[in-house]
Amino acid sequence: MAEELIPVVCPYCGVGCRLYIRVVDGYPVGIEYATDIPGISNEKGKLCPKGNAVIEYLLAKDRLKKPLKAKEQGKFVEISWSEAIKEVAERLKTYAKDDPNQLMFFGSARTFNEPNYLIQKLARMLGTNNVDHCARLCHAPTVSGLKQVFGAGAMTNTYKDIEEADVIFIIGHNYAETHPVGFRYVLKAKERGAKVIVADPRFTRTAWFADIFLQHYPGTDIALINGLIHVIIKEKLYDAKFVRERCVGFDEVVKAVEKFTPEYVEKITGVPADLIVEAARTFATAGKGVITWAMGLTQHTHGHDNVRLLGTLSAICGYQGKEGCGCAPMRGQNNVQGACDMAALPNVFPGYQAVTNPEKRKFFEEFWGVELNGEVGLTVIEAAHAIDEGKVKAYYIMGENPVISDANANHVIKALQKLEFMVVQDIVPTPTMEFADIVLPAAAMLENEGSLTNTERRVQWSFPAVKPPGEARPDWWILSEVGKAVGFDRDGSKGFRYNEAADVLREINACTPQYRGITPERLKANLAGIHWPCPSPDHPGTRFLYKDRFLTPDGKAHLAAVDYRGPVELPDEEYPFILTTMRYVGMYHTLTMTGRSEALVKRWKEPLAEIHPDDAAKLGIRTVDWIKIETRRGVYPIRAKVTRAVKKGVIAVPWHWAANVLTNDALDPVAKIPETKACACRVAKISEEEAKKLMEKLPQIIPRIEVVKG
């Protein structure tokens, strides 16, 4: 049997790296680097450790192979696909008949554009806008914030622009660990002479490469950015022409930042005043500047304002609409941009067309052939609270793991127990599955085909490389079967009859303005992909946005004037430390994939809580000692690592191993993102036995699903 090389997109982070899977007869035997495809996001086919271990999780022994039905909580019997689809469709229909808003759908950034389009189509055709996905927990403020400032909630530039920049401001983003392949472009720029400014509460590996490092306290971003804007305005370093011609609201900004003198900012953030001045001067005078950010900036109750301020900072320096400039939010999943574009969001139709806009609604009513709901639906965290109130009764979860990923996990678990009906569609058992009524086995990303949109708006086609195990089926197939069984059994855009994933993409082309020219044929022929917006089949795609005008109604950038707000929960006598979360380069999100990958588990065995030497000495903690971290919401046992990487008074914990039992689910008023990056906590040394006892109470990362005989 001959070995084949199948081009796929790496299923992990938002860089969207190309690689080949070496396949013999549908079985993966290795990978090969895509050194021969020009213009891809991972130049020369470079990959990070997760990308290198990409086939290991596919071969996990506990992959789901048959649809399951729960007999009681956590105990399942195997059923056939037809039974499973029938049961799901009937239950969905019953709830929809009663009140469609009792249903909640979870799209997923971990699967292709096509299933995300289908799940929101299913939800909306059933009459509810209750559809959301994990972008709510990562880049919701980016989508809402950038939309308000510039008119579109996406990265304004590409990796090429980061490479060509003269100054790169990285804030709340451990670039080197979270997007190692993307960090390549920062180092290339630095080698050329570009300056790198890093702002982070931890001295991260990204900070190793910083020319200027600003270590602020978690949640004080508004003060820091306002401080930078203050210096830039006071020293007249801003681009007056750009501000005059293309921005509105500058006078309000001047007023708002007036009190944020470097000395005042130093008091709030703990960053020396002269460093703030130096950073502001370096950033504003470089000529070409890029700002990148990620979770450290967005996961706050003021995440939306943080993002708007970064947009403002970039705009007043004139760093928009030209090469080597822009705002670059780094997405965490390889298709989180796509899932947002496909409108797995409660407030928009595909292509960010508001559900509240009667004109857009009319278009989709005609397109899908049903009456649509014009009310904005529930978000991920709101849905968990709506369960408490009895408003939401059924969940359809596609490829998500809210028990680990949502803030205040203990509350989520309680809420899920109350649900009447829950469907989970996933590739392996997750802690969330324990509460499911029906489990649908899905094919993993590399076993399946479809289009993916990476962080730089690049849409790429991933080909099916590996045979799915057992009866696992592609996500688009499952949703199309459910759609047909629910009763939308019509041809074309009014039903769910599809023969292949490409059919769905053709329908997306027809209703999403940004994707109009991104046809499956073009994507399959061009492995490097196309950057949206691409309005027609002969359009080459758009490298950077806003060349002549912004996408706001008046075409101008709407600058943000924001006053300081810190984290909602500040340290006090009872809980004297600030807790922040972080991640490891070799581990990924809720560990459903990397936790089943031997090469990665070997290297990143367990979480370590970072604590400053002075705090550790006071509490008698040494590296590798067991400690317990307590917040108002939960307790978490973990080993300590005494390090100067964090400031005094700050504790940093990797969140992969269920640390979200600690975090705060207070929401940003606009973006509805929970504040997982800053809350108050207390720390105490404990014995190993006590740690083990506490460990038992945590949700299991890799649970065993019990399958019993009928």
Partner 1 sequence: MARKTIFIDFSKCIECRACEVACEREHNGMSFINVFEWQEMAAMALNCRHCEAAPCVEVCPTNALYRDEDGAVILAPQRCIGCLMCGIVCPFGIPELDLINKIMGKCDLCAHRRKEGKEPACAATCPTDALIFGDFDEIQRRRREKFTEKAIEVAKKAEKISLLGV
- State the DSSP string of 413-446: HHHHHH-SEEEEEESS--GGGGG-SEEEEB--GG
- The minimum distance between CB 657 and partner 1, in angstroms, equals 19
CB of 513 to partner 1, least distance (A): 35
Query: What is the phi/psi pair of residue 91, to 5°?
Result: -65, -45
Alpha-carbon 169 to chain mean position: 20
Q: In DSSP terms, which residues pair with 25 in a beta bridge?
A: none
Binding to partner 1 in span 602-661, by CB under 8 A: 603, 643-645
Task: Give the integer Cα–Cα distance in Å for 594 and 583.
Answer: 13
Contacting partner 1 within 1-30 (CB under 8 A):
30
- Scan residues 166-225 and list those touching partner 1 (CB under 8 A): 176-177, 180-181, 183-184, 187, 191, 193, 203, 205, 208-209
Compare residues 105 and 203 and give the one whose CB is closer to partner 1: 203
- Residue (207 or 504) nearer to partner 1, CB: 207
As a dihedral over the C-alpha atoms of residue 584, residue 698, residue 405, residue 417, rounded to 10 degrees, the angle is 170
Mask 459-478, x = binds partner 1 (CB under 8 A)? --------------------
CA-closest candidate to residue 411, choices 168, 586, 638, 662: 662
Q: How far apart are CA 616 and CA 636, in angstroms?
A: 17
The only residue of 9, 13, 40, 48 in contact with partner 1, by rule CB under 8 A? 48
What is the rounded CA–CA span in Å between residue 231 and residue 620?
42
Spatial CA neighbour of 18 closest among 395, 529, 640: 529
Kindly state whether residue 585 participates in binding partner 1, applying the rule CB under 8 A.
Answer: yes
Residue 65 found at the interface with partner 1 (CB under 8 A): no
Q: Phi, psi (5° rounding) for residue 654?
A: -70, 135
Which CB sits closer to partner 1, 35 or 94? 35
Give the residue with the Cβ less far from partner 1, 154 or 330. Answer: 330
The CB density around residue 463, as the number of other CB atoms within 10 Å, is 16
Please identify which residue in 24, 25, 26, 35 interacts with partner 1, judged by CB under 8 A: 35
Q: Which is closer to partner 1, CB of 369 or CB of 613?
A: 613
What is the token pair recorded at 437?
């009524």
The yes or no reply on residue 399 touching partner 1 (CB under 8 A) is no
Q: How far is the CB of 639 from partner 1 (least distance, A)?
A: 17
| Residue whose CB is less far from partner 1, 505 or 621 | 621
Find the binder of partner 1 among 47, 131, 355, 472 (CB under 8 A).
47
Q: Given the complex with partner 1, which of 181 and 466 has the nearer CB atom?
A: 181
**Residue type at 53 in one-letter notation:** A
Q: Does residue number 586 form part of the binding site for partner 1 (CB under 8 A)?
A: yes
Residues 290-349 that bind partner 1 (CB under 8 A): none
When binding is defined by CB under 8 A, the residue of 10, 31, 231, 271 that contacts partner 1 is 31
Contacts (Cβ under 8 Å, ≥6 apart) of 683: 577, 609, 611, 615, 619, 621, 627, 628, 629, 630, 651
CA atoms within 13 A on the CB side of 234: 17
**542 touching partner 1, by CB under 8 A:** no
- Site residues for partner 1 per CB under 8 A: 30-31, 33, 35, 42, 44-49, 51-53, 176-177, 180-181, 183-184, 187, 191, 193, 203, 205, 208-209, 585-586, 598-600, 603, 643-645
